[in-house]
């Protein structure tokens, strides 16, 4: 993955994708000072969690245990092998902020880990580590609404947005190129998905904005199919973007493969309207706290494109298809 430089304080989307998608056995789930679980005897059928003491472990009025469970179900429900228990929801010295501890394990494994976070007074956010994340029974609903209304890049697949998959990518990002086979699998495996491409050229890639501008103009002059033909050709020839001369040849070739006129596209790419279109995509990414490429949203839920098996990603998407309801 390629990240934006010098942007490390506001990584909401990244944190959800990287943390909430982790398998329950991940070593990143730290141990805490919860009581030891009873010793198991016989075959291991899953973890045995210690029983909380209501008088000691549930001293906060908000959030409720049911609210925390709903949040975890929305985030982890796709993983039928994961089990968890809300162990503590206690007051802190700061009014309105509660400390929440979750015990996590996997079916068939005795080992457990623990997740701790702080629930904020607004009822809509939590803090874990140094990250601020959305919280609630439907934690991704706001992201979903924003993307439905503002993700206006080239699209393919279904016209409806009951399942909307939005990719933020940079044409000069090598990890974005590596992710394209996964994207194509998703397009094939979820024909009911409305798939949107959003340009997010990173400042450390000198040809990324140039390539994005050409892509905007290919879509404007030739339509969405032409754009995706152009996109595939640019990623295939990505090494040519390493120099100004190579970029010109690579992008013109990609434009021709998309059935468009390189001279018309080059003229269009220099217009203020084209820059405004790219800037709008960048602003959308920033508003969603995206700070790396490639980055994927599934009905507003950040989903990893790197570091996770395709089967897990597919399982996550299928879960949201079944549970998110119609687009609003």
297: helix, strand or coil: strand
Task: Report the mean per-residue pLDDT for the chain.
Answer: 87
CB 87 within 8 Å of CB 101: yes
The answer to whether residue 176 is domain-embedded is yes
Same domain, 216 and 305: yes
* Residues found in the chain: 328
The reported pLDDT for the residue numbered 2 is 54
CB 197 within 8 Å of CB 169: yes
Q: 114-138, pLDDT tens digit by residue?
A: 999 999 999 999 998 877 888 999 9
What average pLDDT does the segment 198-206 reach? 94
What is the CATH number for 301? 3.40.30.10
The answer to whether residue 328 is domain-embedded is no
User: What is the domain range of residue 66?
Assistant: 2-138
What average pLDDT does the segment 300-308 reach? 84
Cis, peptide link before residue 63, omega less than 30° from 0 = yes
Same domain, 170 and 268: yes
Same domain, 305 and 230: yes
Same domain, 54 and 202: no
Sign, CA dihedral 121-124-128-129, equals negative
* Residue that terminates a domain, selected from 75, 104, 138: 138
The answer to whether residue 231 is domain-embedded is yes
Same domain, 44 and 100: yes
Residue 236 above 60 pLDDT? Answer: yes
Residue 212 above 80 pLDDT? Answer: yes
The reported pLDDT for the residue numbered 3 is 52
pLDDT band per the 50, 70, 90 thresholds, residue 235: very high
Q: What is the 3-state secondary structure (H, E, C) of 73-125?
A: HHHHCCCCCEEEEEEEEEECCCCCCEEEEEEEEECCCCCEEEEEEEECCCCCE
The reported pLDDT for the residue numbered 62 is 95
Same domain, 103 and 116: yes
DSSP string spanning 39-69?
Answer: PP-SS--S--PPPP-HHHHB--SSS-HHHHH
What average pLDDT does the segment 104-110 reach? 89
The reported pLDDT for the residue numbered 111 is 85
Same domain, 132 and 148: no
Same domain, 221 and 296: yes
- What would the two tokens of residue 315 be? 């399982």
Same domain, 235 and 282: yes
Q: 32-91, pLDDT tens digit by residue?
A: 455 555 555 445 467 889 999 999 999 999 999 999 999 999 999 999 889 999 999 999
pLDDT band per the 50, 70, 90 thresholds, residue 24: very low
Q: 172-190, pLDDT tens digit by residue?
A: 999 999 999 999 999 999 9
Q: For residues 102 and 113, what is the distance between their CA atoms, to the nearest angstrom? A: 8
The answer to whether residue 318 is domain-embedded is yes
201: helix, strand or coil: coil
Proportion of the chain above pLDDT 70, given as a percent = 86
Helices (DSSP H) in the chain: which residue ranges?
A: 12-15, 54-57, 65-76, 141-150, 174-189, 208-222, 224-236, 244-257, 262-269, 272-287, 310-323
Q: For residues 44 and 48, what is the distance between their CA atoms, to the nearest angstrom? A: 10
The answer to whether residue 49 is domain-embedded is yes
Q: For residues 256 and 167, what is the distance between their CA atoms, to the nearest angstrom? A: 24
**291 or 300: which carries more pLDDT confidence?**
300
* Residue that terminates a domain, selected from 110, 138, 166: 138
Q: Which residue in 179, 138, 203 sits closest to 4, CA to CA?
A: 203
* Residue that terminates a domain, selected from 83, 104, 138: 138
The reported pLDDT for the residue numbered 6 is 30
Exposure string for 112-129, b = 16+ CB within 10 A, e = fewer: bbbbbbebbeeeebbebe
């Amino acid at each position: 993955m390629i990240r934006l430089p010098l942007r490390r304080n506001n990584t909401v989307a990244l944190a959800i994708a990287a943390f909430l998608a982790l398998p329950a056995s991940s070593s990143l789930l730290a141990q805490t000072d919860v009581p030891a679980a009873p010793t198991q005897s016989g075959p291991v059928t899953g973890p045995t969690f210690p029983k909380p003491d209501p008088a000691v472990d549930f001293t906060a009025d908000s959030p409720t245990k049911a609210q925390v469970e709903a949040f975890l179900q929305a985030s982890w429900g796709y993983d039928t092998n994961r089990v968890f228990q809300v162990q503590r929801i206690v007051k802190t010295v700061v009014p309105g902020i509660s400390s929440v501890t979750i015990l996590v394990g996997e079916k068939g494994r005795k080992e457990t880990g623990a997740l701790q976070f702080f629930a904020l007074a607004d009822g809509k956010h939590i803090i874990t580590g140094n990250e601020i994340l959305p919280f609630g029974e439907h934690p991704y609903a706001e992201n979903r609404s924003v993307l439905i209304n503002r993700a206006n890049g080239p699209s393919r697949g279904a016209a409806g947005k009951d399942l909307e998959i939005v990719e933020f990518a940079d044409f000069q990002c090598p990890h974005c190129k590596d992710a394209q086979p996964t994207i194509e699998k998703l397009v094939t495996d979820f024909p009911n998905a409305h798939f949107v491409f959003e340009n997010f050229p990173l400042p450390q890639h000198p040809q990324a904005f140039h390539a994005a501008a050409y892509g905007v103009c290919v879509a404007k002059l030739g339509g969405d199919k032409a754009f995706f033909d152009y996109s595939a050709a640019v990623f295939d020839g990505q090494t040519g973007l390493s120099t100004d001369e190579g970029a010109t040849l690579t992008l013109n070739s990609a434009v021709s493969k998309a059935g468009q006129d390189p001279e018309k596209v080059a003229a269009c790419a220099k217009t203020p309207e084209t820059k405004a279109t790219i800037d709008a995509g960048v602003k959308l990414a920033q508003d969603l706290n995206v700070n790396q490429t490639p980055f994927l949203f599934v009905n507003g839920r950040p989903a990893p494109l790197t570091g996770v098996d395709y089967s897990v990603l597919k399982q996550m998407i299928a879960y949201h298809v079944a549970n998110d309801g119609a687009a609003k």
